[in-house]
Amino acid sequence: MKILIIEWSSCARDDVEDAFVQEGHSLVRAPFSIEGKTYDDLPEIERQFAALLAGEAPDFVFTVNYYPAISNLCNKYGIRYVSWIYDSPYRRLFSQSVVNPCNVIYVFDKQLYLECHNAGISTVHYLPLASNVERVDAVTANAPGAGSYKQDVSFVGSLYLENGSAFIQMKEALPEYAKGYLDALVASQMKIQGYNFIEEVLGPVIEDMSKAYPLVREPGGIESREYYYSQYVINEWITAIDRIDLLESIAQNRKVDLFTQCKEYTSPNIMNHGIVDYYTEMPVIFSQSRINLNITRRGIQSGIPLRAIDIMGSGGFLLSNFQADFLDYFVPGEDFVYYDSKKDLLRKVDYYLSHEAERQAIAKNGHDKVAAAHTYRHRVREMLDGLC
Protein backbone atom coordinates (compact mmCIF):
# COMPACT_ATOMS: atom_id res chain seq x y z
CA MET A 1 0.00 0.00 0.00
CA LYS A 2 0.97 3.62 -0.48
CA ILE A 3 0.46 5.65 2.71
CA LEU A 4 0.39 9.42 2.99
CA ILE A 5 1.80 10.28 6.42
CA ILE A 6 1.16 13.70 7.89
CA GLU A 7 4.28 14.21 9.96
CA TRP A 8 4.70 15.98 13.28
CA SER A 9 7.05 15.55 16.19
CA SER A 10 5.89 12.62 18.34
CA CYS A 11 7.47 9.84 20.35
CA ALA A 12 6.13 7.04 18.20
CA ARG A 13 6.31 8.46 14.67
CA ASP A 14 9.68 7.12 13.52
CA ASP A 15 8.94 3.65 14.85
CA VAL A 16 5.54 3.50 13.16
CA GLU A 17 7.01 4.68 9.87
CA ASP A 18 9.80 2.09 10.07
CA ALA A 19 7.23 -0.63 10.71
CA PHE A 20 5.18 0.35 7.64
CA VAL A 21 8.32 0.18 5.48
CA GLN A 22 9.47 -3.14 6.97
CA GLU A 23 6.04 -4.58 6.23
CA GLY A 24 6.50 -3.69 2.55
CA HIS A 25 4.48 -0.47 2.24
CA SER A 26 5.60 2.77 0.60
CA LEU A 27 5.37 6.10 2.39
CA VAL A 28 4.70 9.60 1.17
CA ARG A 29 5.78 12.00 3.89
CA ALA A 30 3.68 15.15 3.73
CA PRO A 31 5.83 18.32 3.63
CA PHE A 32 3.51 20.15 5.98
CA SER A 33 2.16 19.79 9.48
CA ILE A 34 -0.91 21.13 11.22
CA GLU A 35 1.05 21.54 14.44
CA GLY A 36 1.45 25.22 15.23
CA LYS A 37 -1.15 26.15 12.63
CA THR A 38 -4.47 27.86 13.27
CA TYR A 39 -7.78 27.33 11.54
CA ASP A 40 -7.03 30.44 9.48
CA ASP A 41 -4.33 28.34 7.78
CA LEU A 42 -6.76 25.65 6.61
CA PRO A 43 -7.20 26.94 3.03
CA GLU A 44 -3.45 26.64 2.40
CA ILE A 45 -3.32 23.25 4.14
CA GLU A 46 -6.21 22.05 1.98
CA ARG A 47 -4.50 23.26 -1.20
CA GLN A 48 -1.34 21.31 -0.36
CA PHE A 49 -3.36 18.30 0.77
CA ALA A 50 -5.41 18.17 -2.45
CA ALA A 51 -2.26 18.47 -4.55
CA LEU A 52 -0.66 15.55 -2.70
CA LEU A 53 -3.73 13.36 -3.14
CA ALA A 54 -3.88 14.14 -6.85
CA GLY A 55 -0.17 13.61 -7.41
CA GLU A 56 0.43 10.57 -5.22
CA ALA A 57 -2.93 8.75 -5.11
CA PRO A 58 -2.28 7.11 -1.70
CA ASP A 59 -4.40 4.27 -0.36
CA PHE A 60 -4.97 6.09 2.92
CA VAL A 61 -3.76 8.95 5.11
CA PHE A 62 -2.12 8.24 8.47
CA THR A 63 -1.23 10.31 11.53
CA VAL A 64 0.04 9.55 15.01
CA ASN A 65 -2.77 11.06 17.13
CA TYR A 66 -6.03 12.25 15.60
CA TYR A 67 -6.67 15.62 13.95
CA PRO A 68 -10.20 16.82 13.12
CA ALA A 69 -8.90 19.11 10.36
CA ILE A 70 -7.26 16.16 8.58
CA SER A 71 -10.36 14.03 9.06
CA ASN A 72 -12.59 16.67 7.51
CA LEU A 73 -10.26 16.98 4.52
CA CYS A 74 -10.14 13.20 4.05
CA ASN A 75 -13.91 13.06 4.27
CA LYS A 76 -14.23 15.81 1.66
CA TYR A 77 -11.87 14.11 -0.79
CA GLY A 78 -13.13 10.58 -0.16
CA ILE A 79 -10.00 8.92 1.24
CA ARG A 80 -9.57 6.72 4.32
CA TYR A 81 -8.00 8.40 7.37
CA VAL A 82 -6.22 6.12 9.86
CA SER A 83 -4.94 7.52 13.16
CA TRP A 84 -3.42 5.93 16.25
CA ILE A 85 -3.77 7.93 19.46
CA TYR A 86 -1.00 7.43 22.03
CA ASP A 87 -1.97 10.36 24.28
CA SER A 88 -4.73 10.03 26.85
CA PRO A 89 -6.83 11.91 27.68
CA TYR A 90 -7.10 13.38 24.19
CA ARG A 91 -9.41 16.35 23.64
CA ARG A 92 -9.57 16.09 19.85
CA LEU A 93 -11.34 12.76 20.17
CA PHE A 94 -14.30 14.81 21.39
CA SER A 95 -15.00 16.36 18.02
CA GLN A 96 -17.95 16.30 15.65
CA SER A 97 -15.53 14.98 13.02
CA VAL A 98 -14.97 11.67 14.86
CA VAL A 99 -18.03 10.12 13.21
CA ASN A 100 -16.80 10.96 9.70
CA PRO A 101 -17.09 7.68 7.74
CA CYS A 102 -13.54 8.05 6.44
CA ASN A 103 -12.11 7.55 9.96
CA VAL A 104 -10.41 4.52 11.44
CA ILE A 105 -9.27 5.75 14.86
CA TYR A 106 -7.27 3.53 17.22
CA VAL A 107 -7.04 4.17 20.97
CA PHE A 108 -4.87 2.23 23.45
CA ASP A 109 -7.31 2.36 26.38
CA LYS A 110 -9.85 -0.47 26.17
CA GLN A 111 -12.27 1.23 28.56
CA LEU A 112 -12.25 4.38 26.40
CA TYR A 113 -12.91 2.24 23.32
CA LEU A 114 -15.84 0.54 25.07
CA GLU A 115 -17.33 3.91 26.00
CA CYS A 116 -17.16 5.00 22.36
CA HIS A 117 -18.57 1.65 21.19
CA ASN A 118 -21.44 1.80 23.67
CA ALA A 119 -22.22 5.32 22.48
CA GLY A 120 -22.59 4.01 18.92
CA ILE A 121 -19.32 5.48 17.60
CA SER A 122 -18.14 2.82 15.17
CA THR A 123 -15.07 4.70 13.91
CA VAL A 124 -13.08 4.19 17.14
CA HIS A 125 -11.22 0.90 17.68
CA TYR A 126 -8.88 -0.60 20.28
CA LEU A 127 -5.18 -1.11 19.57
CA PRO A 128 -2.59 -1.35 22.38
CA LEU A 129 0.68 0.52 22.10
CA ALA A 130 3.96 -1.08 21.06
CA SER A 131 7.75 -1.01 21.27
CA ASN A 132 10.38 -1.12 18.55
CA VAL A 133 12.35 -3.88 20.25
CA GLU A 134 14.81 -4.32 17.38
CA ARG A 135 15.79 -0.64 17.58
CA VAL A 136 16.02 -0.42 21.37
CA ASP A 137 18.00 -3.68 21.59
CA ALA A 138 20.61 -2.12 19.30
CA VAL A 139 20.65 1.11 21.32
CA THR A 140 21.05 -0.65 24.67
CA ALA A 141 23.64 -3.14 23.40
CA ASN A 142 25.87 -0.34 22.10
CA ALA A 143 25.44 2.02 25.06
CA PRO A 144 28.40 2.79 27.35
CA GLY A 145 28.24 0.42 30.30
CA ALA A 146 25.87 -1.98 28.52
CA GLY A 147 24.82 -4.80 30.81
CA SER A 148 25.51 -2.84 33.99
CA TYR A 149 23.23 -0.83 36.28
CA LYS A 150 23.64 2.89 36.91
CA GLN A 151 20.37 3.52 38.74
CA ASP A 152 18.48 1.62 41.41
CA VAL A 153 15.07 3.30 41.04
CA SER A 154 14.20 5.50 38.06
CA PHE A 155 11.20 7.42 36.83
CA VAL A 156 11.02 8.97 33.36
CA GLY A 157 8.05 11.28 32.82
CA SER A 158 6.32 14.57 33.41
CA LEU A 159 5.57 16.07 36.82
CA TYR A 160 2.94 18.31 35.16
CA LEU A 161 4.52 21.36 36.74
CA GLU A 162 6.63 22.45 33.75
CA ASN A 163 4.46 25.41 32.73
CA GLY A 164 2.79 26.04 36.05
CA SER A 165 -0.28 24.22 37.28
CA ALA A 166 -3.62 25.05 35.65
CA PHE A 167 -5.27 23.84 38.84
CA ILE A 168 -3.39 26.37 40.98
CA GLN A 169 -4.09 29.17 38.50
CA MET A 170 -7.78 28.33 38.48
CA LYS A 171 -8.01 27.85 42.22
CA GLU A 172 -6.65 31.34 42.94
CA ALA A 173 -9.70 32.83 41.19
CA LEU A 174 -12.33 30.58 42.80
CA PRO A 175 -14.67 31.50 45.69
CA GLU A 176 -13.90 29.85 49.01
CA TYR A 177 -16.64 27.22 48.79
CA ALA A 178 -15.40 26.01 45.40
CA LYS A 179 -11.81 25.87 46.68
CA GLY A 180 -12.83 23.73 49.62
CA TYR A 181 -14.99 21.50 47.44
CA LEU A 182 -12.15 20.81 45.00
CA ASP A 183 -9.63 20.23 47.79
CA ALA A 184 -11.97 17.58 49.21
CA LEU A 185 -12.38 15.94 45.79
CA VAL A 186 -8.63 15.82 45.25
CA ALA A 187 -8.04 14.32 48.70
CA SER A 188 -10.72 11.67 48.11
CA GLN A 189 -9.53 10.73 44.60
CA MET A 190 -5.96 10.40 45.83
CA LYS A 191 -7.08 7.48 48.00
CA ILE A 192 -8.68 5.59 45.11
CA GLN A 193 -6.81 3.71 42.37
CA GLY A 194 -8.52 2.19 39.34
CA TYR A 195 -11.61 4.40 39.25
CA ASN A 196 -11.78 8.13 38.58
CA PHE A 197 -14.96 9.89 39.72
CA ILE A 198 -13.96 13.56 39.32
CA GLU A 199 -15.91 14.19 36.12
CA GLU A 200 -19.12 12.91 37.71
CA VAL A 201 -19.20 15.29 40.68
CA LEU A 202 -18.20 18.73 39.37
CA GLY A 203 -21.80 20.00 39.04
CA PRO A 204 -21.87 22.15 42.20
CA VAL A 205 -18.75 24.13 41.17
CA ILE A 206 -18.66 23.91 37.37
CA GLU A 207 -19.92 27.45 36.86
CA ASP A 208 -17.31 28.86 39.23
CA MET A 209 -14.58 26.89 37.44
CA SER A 210 -15.75 28.11 34.04
CA LYS A 211 -15.50 31.71 35.17
CA ALA A 212 -12.14 31.29 36.87
CA TYR A 213 -10.46 29.33 34.05
CA PRO A 214 -12.50 29.58 30.83
CA LEU A 215 -12.69 26.59 28.51
CA VAL A 216 -11.66 27.36 24.92
CA ARG A 217 -12.78 24.72 22.43
CA GLU A 218 -11.36 24.11 18.99
CA PRO A 219 -13.87 24.46 16.14
CA GLY A 220 -16.02 21.35 16.13
CA GLY A 221 -15.02 20.44 19.67
CA ILE A 222 -17.82 18.93 21.73
CA GLU A 223 -16.05 17.99 24.98
CA SER A 224 -18.12 18.83 28.04
CA ARG A 225 -16.91 21.29 30.62
CA GLU A 226 -16.86 18.48 33.14
CA TYR A 227 -14.59 16.40 30.92
CA TYR A 228 -12.18 19.27 30.30
CA TYR A 229 -11.82 20.39 33.92
CA SER A 230 -11.60 16.87 35.30
CA GLN A 231 -9.01 15.62 32.81
CA TYR A 232 -6.88 18.65 31.98
CA VAL A 233 -6.99 20.57 35.24
CA ILE A 234 -7.85 18.42 38.25
CA ASN A 235 -6.52 14.99 37.20
CA GLU A 236 -3.34 16.60 35.95
CA TRP A 237 -2.86 18.12 39.40
CA ILE A 238 -3.66 14.81 41.11
CA THR A 239 -1.09 13.07 38.90
CA ALA A 240 1.52 15.67 39.90
CA ILE A 241 0.79 15.14 43.60
CA ASP A 242 0.72 11.37 43.15
CA ARG A 243 4.06 11.16 41.37
CA ILE A 244 5.86 13.54 43.71
CA ASP A 245 4.47 11.83 46.81
CA LEU A 246 5.50 8.36 45.65
CA LEU A 247 8.96 9.44 44.48
CA GLU A 248 9.66 11.32 47.71
CA SER A 249 8.41 8.39 49.79
CA ILE A 250 10.81 6.02 48.04
CA ALA A 251 13.61 8.58 48.39
CA GLN A 252 13.37 8.49 52.17
CA ASN A 253 15.30 5.21 52.06
CA ARG A 254 16.52 4.84 48.47
CA LYS A 255 18.20 7.05 45.91
CA VAL A 256 15.81 7.95 43.07
CA ASP A 257 16.84 9.09 39.60
CA LEU A 258 14.28 11.34 37.92
CA PHE A 259 14.25 12.26 34.22
CA THR A 260 11.73 15.04 33.58
CA GLN A 261 11.10 18.36 31.86
CA CYS A 262 10.59 20.14 35.17
CA LYS A 263 14.13 21.39 35.80
CA GLU A 264 13.09 23.36 38.88
CA TYR A 265 11.99 20.37 40.94
CA THR A 266 14.38 19.37 43.73
CA SER A 267 14.03 17.04 46.69
CA PRO A 268 16.49 15.28 49.02
CA ASN A 269 17.82 11.99 47.63
CA ILE A 270 16.15 12.56 44.23
CA MET A 271 18.55 13.33 41.38
CA ASN A 272 16.77 15.37 38.71
CA HIS A 273 18.61 14.76 35.43
CA GLY A 274 16.23 16.80 33.26
CA ILE A 275 14.69 15.68 29.98
CA VAL A 276 16.15 12.84 27.90
CA ASP A 277 15.91 11.90 24.24
CA TYR A 278 13.19 9.33 23.56
CA TYR A 279 15.12 7.40 20.91
CA THR A 280 18.75 7.46 22.06
CA GLU A 281 18.74 7.90 25.85
CA MET A 282 15.47 6.59 27.27
CA PRO A 283 16.03 2.90 26.34
CA VAL A 284 19.45 3.03 28.01
CA ILE A 285 17.96 4.40 31.23
CA PHE A 286 15.34 1.66 31.25
CA SER A 287 17.87 -1.10 30.65
CA GLN A 288 20.37 0.26 33.18
CA SER A 289 17.89 0.82 36.03
CA ARG A 290 17.19 -1.98 38.46
CA ILE A 291 13.62 -0.74 38.91
CA ASN A 292 11.69 1.43 36.45
CA LEU A 293 8.53 3.03 37.80
CA ASN A 294 5.35 3.63 35.86
CA ILE A 295 2.94 5.98 37.66
CA THR A 296 0.09 6.29 35.19
CA ARG A 297 -1.52 9.64 34.49
CA ARG A 298 -4.88 9.88 36.22
CA GLY A 299 -7.53 9.74 33.53
CA ILE A 300 -6.04 6.80 31.63
CA GLN A 301 -8.71 4.34 32.60
CA SER A 302 -7.43 0.85 31.77
CA GLY A 303 -4.76 1.28 29.08
CA ILE A 304 -1.08 0.35 29.23
CA PRO A 305 0.87 3.62 28.83
CA LEU A 306 3.66 3.91 26.27
CA ARG A 307 6.21 4.27 29.08
CA ALA A 308 5.34 0.81 30.42
CA ILE A 309 5.64 -0.89 27.02
CA ASP A 310 8.91 0.93 26.37
CA ILE A 311 10.36 -0.20 29.70
CA MET A 312 9.61 -3.86 28.99
CA GLY A 313 10.70 -3.55 25.36
CA SER A 314 14.04 -2.15 26.54
CA GLY A 315 14.62 -5.11 28.84
CA GLY A 316 13.93 -3.07 31.95
CA PHE A 317 12.16 -4.24 35.09
CA LEU A 318 8.72 -2.60 35.29
CA LEU A 319 7.04 -1.73 38.59
CA SER A 320 3.69 -0.10 37.77
CA ASN A 321 0.41 0.88 39.28
CA PHE A 322 -2.37 -1.50 38.26
CA GLN A 323 -3.98 -1.01 34.84
CA ALA A 324 -6.58 -3.58 33.79
CA ASP A 325 -5.34 -3.93 30.19
CA PHE A 326 -2.06 -5.43 31.45
CA LEU A 327 -3.91 -8.63 32.29
CA ASP A 328 -4.93 -9.17 28.67
CA TYR A 329 -1.31 -9.59 27.59
CA PHE A 330 1.07 -9.90 30.55
CA VAL A 331 1.29 -11.91 33.77
CA PRO A 332 1.93 -10.02 37.03
CA GLY A 333 4.98 -11.33 38.86
CA GLU A 334 6.18 -13.00 35.67
CA ASP A 335 6.46 -10.21 33.05
CA PHE A 336 6.07 -7.13 35.26
CA VAL A 337 5.08 -6.24 38.82
CA TYR A 338 2.31 -3.93 39.98
CA TYR A 339 1.67 -2.15 43.26
CA ASP A 340 -1.76 -1.37 44.70
CA SER A 341 -0.85 1.24 47.33
CA LYS A 342 2.05 3.38 48.49
CA LYS A 343 2.83 0.87 51.24
CA ASP A 344 2.86 -1.93 48.66
CA LEU A 345 5.12 0.10 46.35
CA LEU A 346 7.69 0.72 49.08
CA ARG A 347 7.65 -2.94 50.10
CA LYS A 348 8.16 -4.11 46.51
CA VAL A 349 10.96 -1.62 45.84
CA ASP A 350 12.85 -3.07 48.82
CA TYR A 351 12.05 -6.63 47.85
CA TYR A 352 13.13 -6.48 44.22
CA LEU A 353 16.28 -4.49 44.95
CA SER A 354 17.35 -7.37 47.17
CA HIS A 355 16.23 -10.22 44.87
CA GLU A 356 18.43 -9.73 41.83
CA ALA A 357 17.86 -13.01 40.02
CA GLU A 358 14.08 -12.81 40.35
CA ARG A 359 14.03 -9.22 39.15
CA GLN A 360 16.23 -9.98 36.15
CA ALA A 361 14.08 -12.97 35.18
CA ILE A 362 10.93 -10.84 35.24
CA ALA A 363 12.60 -8.15 33.13
CA LYS A 364 13.69 -10.74 30.56
CA ASN A 365 10.22 -12.28 30.40
CA GLY A 366 8.65 -8.88 29.81
CA HIS A 367 11.15 -8.04 27.08
CA ASP A 368 10.70 -11.38 25.32
CA LYS A 369 6.92 -11.18 25.44
CA VAL A 370 6.93 -7.67 23.96
CA ALA A 371 9.36 -8.81 21.24
CA ALA A 372 7.13 -11.78 20.42
CA ALA A 373 3.79 -10.01 20.14
CA HIS A 374 3.87 -6.27 20.82
CA THR A 375 6.20 -4.58 18.35
CA TYR A 376 5.19 -1.87 15.88
CA ARG A 377 5.29 -4.43 13.08
CA HIS A 378 2.71 -6.51 14.94
CA ARG A 379 0.51 -3.45 15.41
CA VAL A 380 0.84 -2.32 11.78
CA ARG A 381 -0.35 -5.74 10.65
CA GLU A 382 -3.32 -5.55 13.04
CA MET A 383 -4.07 -2.03 11.87
CA LEU A 384 -4.07 -2.92 8.19
CA ASP A 385 -6.01 -6.12 8.77
CA GLY A 386 -8.69 -3.90 10.25
CA LEU A 387 -8.95 -1.94 6.99
CA CYS A 388 -9.89 -5.02 4.96
pLDDT of residue 46: 83
How far apart are alpha carbons 227 and 151 in whole angstroms? Answer: 38
Cβ proximity of 13 and 130 under 8 Å: no
pLDDT tens digits for 218-258?
888 999 999 999 999 999 999 999 999 999 999 999 999 99
In the structure, what pLDDT confidence band is assigned to residue 40 with cuts at 50, 70 and 90? low
CA gap 213, 218 in Å, rounded: 16
Q: Is the pTM of this model over 0.75?
A: yes
Tens digits of per-residue pLDDT, 18-38? 999 999 999 998 866 555 555
Residue of higher predicted confidence among 51 and 363: 363
pLDDT digits (tens, 9 = 90+) for 145-176: 998 999 999 999 999 987 778 999 999 999 99
Amino acid at 302: S
Per-residue pLDDT reduced to its tens digit, 66-109: 999 899 999 999 999 999 999 999 999 999 999 999 999 999 99
What is the C-alpha separation between 32 and 27, in angstroms, rounded? 15
Euclidean distance between CA atoms 337 and 226, whole angstroms = 34
For residue 42, pLDDT beyond 80: no
